[in-house]
Amino acid sequence: MYDQPRPRAHPSRTAMTLDQMLERVRYEGAYPTRERAAEAVHHVLSALGRQLTGDERVDLAQCLPVEAALTLTAQVPDAGPLTGWGFVKDLAARTGATPATVRWDTGAVFAIVTRLAGPDLLARILHRLPDGYALLFGQPELRRPQPTAA
């Protein structure tokens, strides 16, 4: 059974086209070409799609341009979640790029994803993901309370 489309969380937000998203990522990442920005978007959203599950995945997909949403949701989530640093290392290994380049690409793409998602959805996404993702999204990394032994 397929999920039914949900109304957009922020109907007043103007939808962004893929071309607009790529231009914003190109500007944010200071990429020399639109193709390089598109490559960064594809790799980063694919990697995020392997980590993000549940309603947050569905809600984020609805905030993205259709083509970007398909890239995110086409990925089967990994069985074991990765920390933020693990995310960067895994993506570097998959793409053959250096961790520094992947970190740059991730920051450029996530800056736009952050704007599209809005603060409420971003907070839910960060709550679902393991430690280390807040910094990738340009947010302060707050320590999660550790369970106390009873």
Chain length of the chain: 150
**In whole angstroms, what is the distance from residue 63 CA to residue 22 CA?**
15
- Residue 62: predicted pLDDT: 97
- Residue 141: predicted pLDDT: 78
**In whole angstroms, what is the distance from residue 46 CA to residue 64 CA?**
13
CA end-to-end span of the chain: 42
Give, in order, the Cα–Cα distances in Å from 35 to each of 22, 30, 40, 93: 9, 12, 9, 21
Model confidence band, residue 8 (pLDDT cutoffs 50, 70, 90)? very low
Give, in order, the Cα–Cα distances in Å from 61 to each of 55, 72, 93, 97, 142: 10, 7, 25, 26, 25
Model confidence band, residue 7 (pLDDT cutoffs 50, 70, 90)? very low
Least confident stretch, 13-22, 28-37, 38-47, 61-70: 13-22
Q: pLDDT of 106-150, one tens digit each?
A: 999 999 999 999 999 999 999 999 999 999 999 987 665 556 665
**In whole angstroms, what is the distance from residue 127 CA to residue 131 CA?**
9
